[in-house]
Structure 1
Amino acid sequence: MSRSKWKGPYINVENINELNNIKKHHQNILKASRSSEIIPSFLGATFYVHNGKNFIEVNVTSDMIGHKFGEFSFTRSKFAFKKKSKK
């Protein structure tokens, strides 16, 4: 279920405040919540998004605008069967 349009996108206010401070000091690393939506002012910035175990680095590009940060930090690893060695 999507968020209603009259509310607008959910954006963590801390991210916007930190982004303004970081642009002054020329740094690009922030922590972002998975539920925050990516807005155009985040372009070119690097965010760390928690996937439940560790933080994954996400570089924001123009294709990501309108999506949420959680879509780019996968919570499940790919599964592969282990091959048995012959004795």
Structure 2
Amino acid sequence: MSRSLKKGPFVDEKLLAKIAKLRRGDKTVVKTWSRASQIAPEMVGFTIGVHNGKVHLPVYVVENMVGHRLGEFAPTRKFLRHGGKMQKELEQGAPAVAAAPATPAPAASAKKES
């Protein structure tokens, strides 16, 4: 369910104040824990460090991101892989086989003289 239009979008006031102090194109990363804040047009061009529960991930805001939440661009879970020990052995063995070709490529032939 989306937020009521009469309330307007939620944007953290402290975050907007920090961004207002910076100049356009400034490379400073603004740290925030407010993952629920919507990206406002004033944030375009700035880098915001969004907390994912462990570290602040830098998110460079572009025009297409306006209206989305900051938390959408900082995943909180890290996908390792499925399969366990047997899958790991298969993955380690596959690159070695692929690296060595079975038959050498034919050498380029010289031009025929007539």
**TM exceeds 0.5?**
yes
Match of 2:7 in 1: 7
**4+ residue runs over 6 A deviation:** none
Percent identity reads 38
Superposition RMSD in Å: 2.0
- The alignment covers a number of residue pairs equal to 85
- Following TM superposition, by how much is the alpha carbon of 1:15 offset from its aligned partner in structure 2, in angstroms? 1.1
Any idea what the Cα deviations from partners look like across 1:13-45, whole Å, max 9, x if unmatched? 011111121228x45321231000001110100
TM-score by length of 2: 0.67
Match of 2:22 in 1: 22
Q: Which ranges of structure 2 fall in alignment gaps of 5 or more residues?
A: 94-114
Match of 1:52 in 2: 53
SS at match of 2:23: helix
Q: Which has the higher contact order (CA 8 A, sep 6+)?
A: 1
Q: Which of these two proteins has the greater Rg computed from alpha carbons? A: 2
Q: Does 1:77 align with 2:78?
A: yes
- Code of the aligned partner of 1:14: K
More helix by share: 2
